[in-house]
Amino acid sequence: MYEDKTLVCKDCGAEFVFTAGEQEFYAEKGFQNEPQRCKACRDARKSANKAQRELFTTVCARCGKEAKVPFQPNSDRPVYCSDCFAEMKAEQK
């Protein structure tokens, strides 16, 4: 029923293939418009719209190494680096 189509990206002008499987997926979801951007331009557009997460630097309460965390640490709770956090999580299982 569906056949691969070659489309042109409206951002970069490159040709890309709108596969039969993608067309079937679009039809199942009720999408009526074909994609206008290639995968690279879609991904770039998505990441440009995401807010950059602020990271805070602190010291791991377990090993003493520097740790970067996505929240403002405070003194009433320990903060762990990703390695120590993963180890502690594995120990709990």
pLDDT at 81: 92
Angle at 70 between CA 69 and CA 76, to 5 degrees: 65
Tell me what the mean pLDDT of segment 42-59 comes to: 86
pLDDT at 93: 74
Q: 7 near 14, Cβ under 8 Å? A: no
Kindly list the domain boundaries of the chain, sorted by start residue: 5-49, 56-92
The predicted model scores a pTM of: 0.53
Q: 69 near 55, Cβ under 8 Å? A: yes
On the question of pLDDT at 57 being above 90, the answer is: yes
C-alpha pair distances (Å), 92 with each of 58, 62, 79, 82, 87 = 24, 16, 17, 16, 9
Confidence of residue 58 (pLDDT cuts 50, 70, 90): very high
